[in-house]
């Protein structure tokens, strides 16, 4: 049975529980342990698939087709392992399962209650994942903030786990120690109250990760330890950093992984010192790059950076692979419609159009593609970015002025993008798109094949519409290269232009499979092409240390 580390958060939301859980997973894995990480979300949706990006940010898709919380992307990137639908549990899934059983009569007439039925189902899903993954350490992150009413069943379930498993369960609480400028000092009271709320539920925190602007001095740590009933060494500073990839190093320096190993009673003979050499080398490339370029992200949700979380991270990985920092210029596609692409994009080194749903801003994306194509700016389209690239080509190269997607104009005579056949008649919105991993065969000698370095790949999908094969021959006759097709189905996955410095668009979401030490090859080559354009355009791509607008800062 796996040892369990429960990660909770207090005081305010968005303190970085997901990054904390992922960083701990990385450190324990670097010690030779088998690690898995699970997210328990207290909202009543079955999954985030039907939520607005403005409310929930990115939907992260797994190989097995689950639409999950974006924190699962952090898990995959930090522990370099693929997760499944079992790694994300929502209150909606728990209640849906229980109520289905009640309707079938499985409870034999008994009253169905939060305790024991809801809590038992939560514990069952934790134990099930532990057994399935054969992990040594199972990290469980509970979404929300301690004190939220919807989190109570999950907290009660893990309280019971502690009672049942004793030393095999520990609690790591992420909290805030704010610096009050007027007083000129940090304040520990929010942390004290947060830990007090946990204790009222029946949970005693074992380790505190204290978010702060600067490292906490020994007096502050001792005060927190005294009032929160933990050893001083268990009060660990989680100081602000420029890059999330620095967090594991901060935690290791604070002794987090060593403390967890000790508290869980893991035999020392089974645990090696952490090997962080490769990770540290990656972090150095992120924080001290030699070159730079600027890439425009032309999207529909640019005011909510989390909507493009995996795209941002994939560009960081690709930048590090090219010893470069990628500055991001966030461009709302509706602004392109109003101001024109030239006004907003003429001085960038590359353009990326990511995914999205709905008609708003689509014409701005199409104008963006036309500008990139005609001005020879490296272009990378993701999902909807591939569809608008096809529409733009059909309109301005083939000459079909009304070319469109049936999603945006069902009356168009040239629906070059159309609904998948198996999507016709679908009324339920949740979990019904083409989801998960599919194999893609690459055209020999194509830009995509050269980037991947292999004839067949597997990528993750999340969409309802595809390139309409009815128009494939006419599009290719005018120069559009269909360089990737789904294995076993005549579905176009990749389009590109041969007479262009770098123009490639994909129907899938390659950003979901990029890793810090294994950057996605398409992102890597896109950034390389953008660097080449910058050098050709300006004669220099050396990183300017006076411009500290890193991706992380731009994201804020």
> pLDDT tens digits for 305-363?
999 999 999 999 999 999 999 999 999 999 999 999 999 999 999 999 999 988 899 99
What pLDDT shows up at residue 14? 82
Enumerate helices (H) and strands (E) in the chain, giving the number of each: 20, 23
Active site residues: 383, 509, 511
What pLDDT shows up at residue 556? 37
- Token duo for residue 122: 């939560």
3-class SS of residue 113? coil
What pLDDT shows up at residue 552? 41
3-class SS of residue 491? coil
Nearest to 470 by CA among 401, 549, 412: 412
- Token duo for residue 93: 């899934």
Sign of CA dihedral 147, 148, 151, 153: positive
- Token duo for residue 243: 């890059």
pTM for the predicted model, two decimal places: 0.94
What pLDDT shows up at residue 546? 67
| List of residues 6+ apart from 217 with CB closer than 8 A | none
Query: Contact, 43 vs 50, CB < 8 A?
Result: no
pLDDT beneath 70: ranges in the chain = 268-270, 425, 427-429, 546-556
What pLDDT shows up at residue 495? 98
User: What DSSP line would sit under 291-338, residue for residue?
Assistant: EEEEEEEEES-TT-GGGGHHHHHHHHHHHHHTTEEEEEEEEEHHHHHH
**Gyration radius (Cα) of the chain, Å:** 25
What pLDDT shows up at residue 548? 57
Domains of the chain, earliest start first: 3-281 (3.40.50.300), 292-555 (3.40.50.880)
């Amino acid at each position: 049975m796996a040892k369990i580390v429960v990660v909770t958060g207090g005081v305010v939301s968005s303190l970085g529980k997901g990054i904390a859980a992922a960083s701990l997973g990385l450190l324990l894995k670097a010690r030779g342990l088998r690690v898995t990480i699970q997210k328990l979300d207290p909202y009543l949706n079955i999954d985030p698939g039907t939520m607005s990006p403005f409310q929930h940010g990115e939907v992260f898709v797994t190989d097995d087709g689950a639409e999950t919380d974006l924190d699962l992307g952090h898990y995959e990137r930090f522990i370099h392992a693929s997760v499944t639908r079992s790694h994300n549990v929502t209150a909606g899934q728990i209640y849906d399962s229980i109520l289905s059983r009640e309707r079938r009569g499985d409870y034999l007439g008994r009253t169905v209650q939060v305790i024991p039925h809801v809590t038992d189902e939560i514990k069952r899903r934790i134990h099930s994942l532990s057994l399935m993954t054969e992990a040594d350490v199972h990290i469980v992150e509970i979404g929300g903030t301690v004190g939220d009413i919807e989190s109570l069943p999950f907290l009660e379930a893990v309280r019971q786990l502690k009672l049942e498993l004793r030393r095999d369960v520990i609690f790591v609480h992420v909290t805030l120690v704010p610096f009050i400028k007027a007083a000129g000092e940090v304040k520990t009271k929010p942390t004290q109250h947060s830990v007090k709320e946990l204790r009222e539920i029946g949970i005693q925190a074992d380790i505190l990760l204290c978010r702060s602007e600067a490292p906490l001095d020994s007096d502050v740590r001792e005060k927190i330890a005294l009032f929160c009933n933990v050893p001083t060494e268990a009060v660990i500073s989680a100081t602000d950093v420029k890059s999330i990839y620095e967090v594991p190093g901060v935690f290791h320096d604070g002794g987090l992984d060593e403390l967890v190993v000790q508290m869980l009673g893991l035999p020392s003979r089974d645990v090696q010192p952490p090997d962080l050499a490769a990770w540290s080398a990656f972090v150095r490339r992120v924080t001290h790059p030699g070159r730079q370029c600027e890439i425009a992200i032309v999207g529909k949700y640019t005011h909510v950076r989390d909507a493009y979380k995996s795209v941002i991270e994939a560009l960081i990985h690709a930048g590090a692979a090219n010893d470069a920092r990628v500055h991001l210029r966030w461009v709302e596609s509706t602004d392109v419609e109003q101001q024109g692409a030239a006004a907003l994009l003429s001085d960038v080194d590359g353009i990326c159009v990511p995914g999205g749903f709905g008609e708003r801003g689509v014409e701005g994306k199409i104008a963006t593609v036309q500008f990139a194509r005609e001005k020879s700016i490296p272009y990378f389209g993701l999902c909807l970015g591939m569809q608008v690239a096809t529409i733009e080509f059909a309109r301005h190269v083939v000459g079909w002025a009304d070319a469109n997607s049936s999603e945006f104009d069902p009356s168009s005579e040239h629906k070059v993008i159309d609904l998948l056949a198996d999507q016709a008649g679908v009324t339920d919105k949740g979990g019904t798109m083409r989801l998960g991993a599919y194999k893609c065969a690459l055209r020999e000698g194509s830009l995509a094949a050269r980037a991947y370095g292999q004839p067949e790949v597997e990528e993750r999908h999340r969409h309802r519409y595809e390139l309409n094969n009815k128009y494939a021959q006419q599009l290719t006759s005018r120069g559009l290269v269909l360089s990737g097709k789904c294995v076993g189905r005549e579905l176009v996955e990749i389009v590109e232009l041969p007479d262009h410095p770098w123009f490639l668009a994909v129907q899938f979401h390659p950003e979901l499979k990029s890793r810090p030490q294994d950057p996605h090859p398409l992102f890597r080559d896109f950034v390389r092409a953008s660097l080449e354009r910058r050098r050709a355009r300006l004669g220099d791509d050396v990183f300017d240390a006076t411009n500290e607008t890193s991706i992380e800062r731009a994201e804020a």
